[in-house]
Chain A
Amino acid sequence: MTAMETRTVAVCEASRLIPGRGVAALLPDGRQVAIFLTVDGDCYGLSNIDPFARAAVLSRGLVGESGGRPFVASPLLKQRFDLRTGVCLDDESVAIRTYPVRVVDGVVHVSP
């Protein structure tokens, strides 16, 4: 992705997000983004695919915080991924892709 690209995908109304949980969005090319809203009101996007369990489930994990690092814990084998960087807290050699997420006029947008 280059800085020139500004194309974003509108996903849903911000009111669909529950603080502390995630939703999944399907990108036009078939990729899946897990979008999370924290209780502090921050939005994050990560690949929806859990690399350990090899299944598209991360949007259905629980959001939490460890020492100030916001994370989502996979609902399958509970590995935690940093919402800001995609780095796995339990195995720092693994990281998943992050996606910038913004809320504009009450609508959630993802940059693919």
Chain B
Amino acid sequence: MTRTLVVAGHGMVGHRLVEAVRAEDTEGTWRVVVLAEEPRPAYDRVALTSYVDGWDAQALDLGEHSDIELRLGDPVAKVDRAGRTVVTESGFTQSYDALVLATGSRPFVPPVPGHDLPGCFVYRTIDDLDAIRAAVESAKERKRGRAAAMVVGGGLLGLEAAKALRDMGLSPHVVEMAPRLMPIQVDDGGGNLLRKLVTELDLTVHTGTSAERIEQDGDRLCAKLTNGTELDLDLIVFSAGVRPRDELAREAGLDVGERGGVLVDLSCRTSDPDVWAIGECAAVEGRCYGLVAPGYAMAEIVAAQLLGKDGEFPGADMSTKLKLMGVDVASFGDAHATTEGALEVVLADAVSGYYKKLVVSGDEPRTLLGGVLVGDASAYNLLRPLVGSPLPADPAAMLAPEGASGAVGVDALPDAAQICSCNAVTKGAITDAIRAQGCDSVASIKSCTKAGSTCGSCVPMLSKLLDACGVVQSKAVCEHFAHSRRELFEIVKATRITTFGELIAKHGTGAGCAICKPAVASILATVDTTQGEGGHILDGEQASLQDTNDHFLANMQRNGTYSVVPRVPGGEITPAKLKVIAEVADEFGLYTKITGAQRLDMFGATVDQLPHIWKRLVEAGFESGHAYGKALRTVKSCVGSTWCRYGVQDSVAMAVELELRYRGLRSPHKLKSGVSGCARECAEARSKDFGVIATEKGWNLYVGGNGGILPRHAQLLVSDVDSESLIRYIDRFLMFYVRTADRLQRTAPWIEELEGGLDHLRAVIVEDKLGICDELDAAMAKHVENYADEWRGVLEDPEKLARFTSFVNAPGAPDPTISFTEEREQKVPVLLGVPEVVSR
């Protein structure tokens, strides 16, 4: 028999409940009716502040449910427990067998005179943010400049609201009644540092005071604080905590908690066995929880009980770790040392910008009770699981920079310690997966336990657990070679083996695959150009090893056609050359786009067209841009001292010189570079593998930056060096990287993996600690000497040219599956409709 579950509220917790019921109720025993107040389905309220990034509500979407009835914008107005029905605001009546209240909470607005004036807002929903945005826009228009805003509340939520305002271009005032920011999570020391750090980010912080009165002053607001300060404002956001929405329960005669909230027991049942309450509106044994994780736990246990299983609220870990405007803040366990006899160990460094405190028991052995971390919360993952356990090392040593990971081995953690907090995976579960289930890599632990599969911050710990269990993690390139790329490089360099066939016969097994072949091809090419004669990457057997992009010296796009990127060193190009590109694109009917790296890309070329296109380009003085290769792509530049009134060095000339020097160098991954002519950094050099920024005295060299999935800022390697030294250090940096990095490892993770990191790198290439600099210099000199344009090499070789054909039996015949349509006056590809698949 089908019963009806009515859920009042569709926030994150209501959403989770419905998901859990639908996932478990495979028999369809529950009909689910959700009655929601907001006009849109549940969204990620925790990430509300990120809505400002693009004003795209879709981005916060939590996903649709299947097979439920969802009424939006029509909240429950009344519960009739005797009749087991609810009536909505619009008068819709719905009977229930089980009712779950998930009505959340409402922002608390202190009863300050004037709190309801126009220009006063709260911060909880997408609609709230839309209203704030409209107010900011109209204030900006009125003033033709910056709008002024105040946030009431300096807790977690208040700082989130301040961040949203800052992202809208404002410099908000934050007013907090307590003597410090985030009073619940951090102590005075942490609060002071937090205040300093956010003040640097353009917030004005007023603590130990509150709004006394708000008055309208024309189209503006005037707020008077209790300490006498008067603020002239365009808008005010109240973000000073929340109150549970328990009014439905009150009116229906259900018990409520002393401090509000629908009173429920540990199974989340109210005083009526058919009515439950979960999330922020629930007071579990009298206590309300304002975080989403306990709410989710409540949703899961109610879903379990609805389906006939047991469920009990396990209590909540109120530990918090977050990044507020780039500032790490973490708080765990007994952060305020309220345990009797507790001692505090504090390490604070206002210069480096961190504050760390551990709370430990008064007697030996010192048990970790809690802690506060501000500015650097990297130790949080290791420390939080230790709460309740004896500290494995001296507390002060554990707080030292890098100390937690150094002093506390993972083996010191108890089995119950949670390693992956996203998926609640304990150390015990992971070591069990390693020992009993045979997981021998981070990847297999991820798929077996889900640890590390969400935010990834515990991945280094997974690796350490593998080490601790005695598992030697394979660095093998693939099933055909037991060696890492670095080892293969050493073998090729030492033995002067010049073919893949010989290498796999002597040092590997089988016939090779799509992983080891291109990797070895890259090694052979680098060793050849830096020690040998500098042959072509499509010579002899090498032709069979290259990925399609290297094989056709162009980038394959989604319909099988290619794109063509000629090198434009430093992004500097003459009008005559621009004209050639325009003519070629026009003649061959190519889509054109400016790339992210100051070059021009021409798309939609068929294999047959490539040599004809390149004949024109090479004749006009262009050469391969290696956009297809794991090689140097581009050295981006700003316009530099030649034209720019701020420039202090000629960044364009330097970029051109660097690009011409390193073009064609095959590497473990693509390489990008940039040169900026002054500290304003218009070339974005710090997002490059090697970036150069001009100074009054010379150049600063930064290494290990990248964009991509995991963006990294490059770190300073040497400063104020002259041009000659700069190039020498880059030569060595690149050669050292090319020889020792893993396959597809970019410079940032490579530096991270070097024992000693950046300092070690500096010791090797600046101080020549390993005594290899002469060799690295000689290798790069050889590379520069051996460089030859790959496309010219193809055009001069009839055998290589003959490979550029769509059909071996019909040279010149166009591929009938390739077609295009037009968008914004240019052609774009059309994919094949129905692929030819054999059904099995």
Contact = CB atoms under 8 A, between A and B. Distances in A.
B559 A55 contact: yes
Interface in B446-485: 479
B548 interface: yes
Interface string A81-93: 0000011000011
A26 B835 contact: no
Contact of A95 (B501, B815, B816, B837): B837
A21 B544 contact: yes
A12 B514 contact: no
B173 interface: no
A54 B835 contact: yes
Contacts of A64: 511-515, 517
A25 interface: yes
A95 B831 CA distance: 19
B221 to A, nearest CB: 56
Given A56-B817, A60-B548, A65-B510, A21 B837 contact: no
Interface in B503-562: 510-515, 517-518, 543-549, 551-552, 556, 558-560
Nearest to A62: B514
Contacts of B512: 20, 39, 64-65
A78 to B, nearest CB: 7
B840 A95 contact: yes
Interface residues of A, number: 54
A24 interface: yes
Contacts of B560: 55-57, 60, 76
A66 B513 contact: yes
B556 A76 contact: yes
Given A24-B806, A95-B837, A75 B548 contact: yes
Nearest to B510: A65
B544 A20 contact: yes
Most buried by A among B547, B806, B807, B810: B807
Contacts of A92: 840
Contacts of B544: 18-21, 39, 63
Nearest to B549: A75
B506 to A, nearest CB: 15
Interface in A46-67: 47, 49-57, 60-67
Contact of B513 (A53, A54, A65): A65
Nearest to B802: A16
Contacts of B607: 60
A53 B558 contact: yes
B316 interface: no
Given A21-B544, A68-B510, A93-B840, A30 B816 contact: yes
B609 to A, nearest CB: 15
Contacts of B813: 26
Given A11-B809, A32-B817, A73 B479 contact: no
Contacts of A51: 835-837
Nearest to B817: A56
Interface in B704-749: none
B808 A23 contact: yes
Contacts of A31: 836
Nearest to B816: A30
B552 A97 contact: no
A112 to B, nearest CB: 12
Contact of A57 (B510, B545, B556): B556
A55 B817 contact: yes
B838 A56 contact: no
A13 B479 CA distance: 33
Contacts of B517: 20, 62, 64
B832 A55 contact: yes
Interface string A77-112: 010100000110000111111000000000000000
Nearest to A72: B514
Contact of B808 (A24, A49, A78): A24
Contacts of A39: 501, 511-512, 544
A66 B479 contact: yes
A95 B818 CA distance: 22
B815 A86 contact: no
Contacts of B513: 62, 64-66, 71, 73
Most buried by B among A39, A55, A66, A87: A55
B808 A12 contact: yes
B634 to A, nearest CB: 23
Contacts of A53: 558, 831
Contacts of B831: 53-55
Given A24-B808, A30-B816, A55-B831, A40 B511 contact: yes
Contacts of B558: 53, 55, 76
A86 B547 CA distance: 21
Contacts of A52: 835
Nearest to A23: B808
A96 B808 contact: no
Contacts of B815: 32, 56
A49 to B, nearest CB: 5
Nearest to A48: B817
B838 A97 contact: yes
Interface in B817-840: 817-818, 831-833, 835-838, 840
A55 to B, nearest CB: 4
A44 to B, nearest CB: 13
A76 B607 CA distance: 15
A65 B511 contact: yes
Contact of A26 (B514, B559, B807): B807
A78 B514 contact: yes
Given A12-B809, A26-B813, A56-B560, A21 B552 contact: no
Contacts of A78: 514
A21 B100 CA distance: 62
Most buried by A among B510, B547, B816, B835: B835
Nearest to A58: B560
Contact of B556 (A21, A75, A86, A94): A75
Contacts of A30: 816
6 contacts: A40-B511, A52-B835, A55-B832, A65-B513, A75-B548, A86-B838
Interface of B: 479, 501, 510-515, 517-518, 543-549, 551-552, 556, 558-560, 607, 802, 806-810, 813, 815-818, 831-833, 835-838, 840
Interface of A: 9-12, 16, 18-21, 23-26, 30-32, 35, 38-40, 47, 49-57, 60-68, 70-71, 73, 75-76, 78, 80, 86-87, 92-97
Given A32-B817, A61-B514, A67-B479, 19 more contacts: A11-B808, A12-B808, A16-B802, A18-B543, A20-B545, A26-B807, A26-B816, A51-B835, A56-B818, A57-B548, A62-B514, A62-B517, A63-B544, A65-B511, A65-B512, A70-B511, A75-B548, A76-B558, A96-B838
- Of all A-B residue pairs in the complex, the 3 with the closest CB atoms, nearest first, are A64-B513, A20-B544, A75-B548
